[in-house]
Structure 1
């Protein structure tokens, strides 16, 4: 049984550097498809075995290193899953500053404090784009 009875605490409108703590984590169990549909979890993996929560403080600010570079996010879900080949994947469910969700491997993120200047800048830039401010470098 999980400790998650509602949504992740965001309305799709995202967060800023001062209100990210209102995000509610998904903890206590591996997520199911029902959890994702209820917006209590970001992801549910069905093609792995032995899914279990990773013991870590959530929500947790992170800098995610995706294909486009650094992305600020807040991890709200952390699970370890075993693939068919026996490899254990540590997977995070992330909420982006604009309210979107993403899934990343733990090895592809840096855990940071909310006072980290790079994380703060990335969050501010991400929500600045959402308010209609355009990059003047175009």
Structure 2
């Protein structure tokens, strides 16, 4: 178990004194917080945030959310300033993370955002509405 020296000092500063029972009570409260936080991770938890950690992938998700439908790879390529292979790689990463869905029709691949992607964007930028727009215009 971790040392509680600093916790004892915090309680003493806040309450004027601290005994072992005070520390035990606070540790129990903190353990309840940990239980409510649900620190169990799924394999995709870290992948989701990693997938949104580059400007290109974040831009692609924003574009797909703003499109309010599907876009073909060839429609995304002129909108982001990276190579064709970088767009394909970004889309693969986003698909693996569960942030976009892919549909193949003949030789064309179409992508659309998942509800999770739209929710994450809305949470990260409260100025965005569900369609990826801000104040009536397309989000930058």
Does TM-score exceed 0.5, indicating one fold? Answer: no
Greater fraction of residues in strand: 1
Greater fraction of residues in helix: 2
TM-score, normalised via structure 1 length: 0.24
TM-score, normalised via structure 2 length: 0.24
The structure showing larger relative contact order (alpha-carbon pairs under 8 Å, at least 6 residues apart) is 1
